[in-house]
Amino acid sequence: MSGRFNTILVPVDFSVNTEVAVAKALELIEGAAAMIHLLHVQRRDVLQEFIKGNANRNQEKIHGKLDELSKRIRKSRPNVGISCWLTDSHSIEDAIVQEAARLDVDLIIIGKHSSNSVFTFSKTVLSSQIAIDSGIPVLTVKPGSLNGPVKTVVIPVGPTFPWKKLELLDTWRHRPGFHIRLVSYLSHEKDDAHSKESLLNTFRLLKTNWPGSVEYDVLRGNNQAKALLNYCNKVNADMLIVYPGVETKIGGLLNRHISDELPPDSRTQVLAVQPA
């Protein structure tokens, strides 16, 4: 992984989710062969399979909306290629994972304007699960991040060196005022010498090689995701780069994750990437 995003997949539902995700895609896309893939997933409905007329009319509407959206993007960024895709599936998550693999994308961007659903026509779509299943970085963004540049990024550092997280930083290497905050999480019950050593090694590497500001902190608590969420709020983080799973899962009966807990006006974007 180079850390540069030349091919981005944006699942769309034509709501504010889409506007935010497309804006972030245009902000991050790079390269002479830059390509944004717009994907709309229709939830497969058994009844609609029998009423083909209604299904066909609905598809025509969606194709029209995709075409309109692609024209708007081309008008603002004529140098970026746009492809539109329409598929149906019983699982929106599975469809996103399958299309991301087929299109060989570098990044998936999911817009989320509420705290209970990513898409207006679906149950909760877990960005972290998509990152796990696809092996592709997934960026979750909310309307609060729409007009704010990424200046402060929080990176949790565990017992192993965070190579995959650091690779992603290449996109922002030459952005002025970009500030990195490394954090190590320790439970109240015990200290973790390996995490402390990894934190210091990561800090030393970035201080030597990163052109911007680098700091580190140590967090304590009984839930790593909650501690990270509180820290991001405290430092007004623009982005949190995490490994999906233990670093994102808040827990509870609804299987909540960090991106579910952030309010719609949150500036914090969550970038989930699988470890090596």
Question: In sequence order, which residues have a C-beta less than 8 Å from that of residue 234 and are 6 or more positions away?
Answer: none
Domain ranges for the chain, please list them.
7-143, 152-272
pLDDT given for residue 252 in this prediction: 64
Only one residue has tokens 């991040």, namely: 145
pLDDT given for residue 115 in this prediction: 53
Question: Which homologous superfamily does the CATH classification assign to the domain defined by 7-143?
Answer: HUPs (3.40.50.620)
For the domain spanning 152-272, the CATH number is 3.40.50.620
pLDDT given for residue 260 in this prediction: 81
Question: In sequence order, which residues have a C-beta less than 8 Å from that of residue 10 and are 6 or more positions away?
Answer: 18, 21, 22, 25, 36, 37, 38, 39, 108, 109, 111
pLDDT given for residue 147 in this prediction: 82
pLDDT given for residue 2 in this prediction: 52
153 token code pair: 């990024």
Q: In this predicted model, what pLDDT tens digit does every residue of 180-227 receive, in sequence order?
A: 999 999 875 666 777 889 999 999 999 999 999 999 999 988 888 999
Question: Which residues lie across from 40 on neighbouring strands?
Answer: 86
pLDDT given for residue 114 in this prediction: 62
147, amino acid identity:
N
Q: Do domains 7-143 and 152-272 have the same CATH topology?
A: yes
Supply the DSSP string of the chain, one letter for each residue: --S-BSEEEEE--SSHHHHHHHHHHHHHB-STT-EEEEEEEEEP-HHHHH-HHHHHHHHHHHHHHHHHHHHHHHHH-TTSEEEEEEEEES-HHHHHHHHHHHHT-SEEEEE--SSS-SSTTSS---HHHHHHHH-S-EEEE-GGGTT----EEEEE--SS--HHHHHHGGGGTT-TT-EEEEEEEEESS---HHHHHHHHHHHHHHHHH-SSEEEEEEEEES-HHHHHHHHHHHHT-SEEEE-TTTTTEEETTTTEEHHHHS-TT---EEEE----
**Mean pLDDT, 10 residues at a time, the chain of 276 residues:** 81 94 93 92 66 70 95 94 94 95 97 59 71 96 89 94 93 90 81 82 95 94 89 96 89 73 91 92
User: What is the C-alpha to C-alpha distance for residues 67 and 81, in angstroms, rounded to an integer?
Assistant: 13
Give the Cα-Cα-Cα angle 167, 170, 171 (nearest 5 degrees): 125
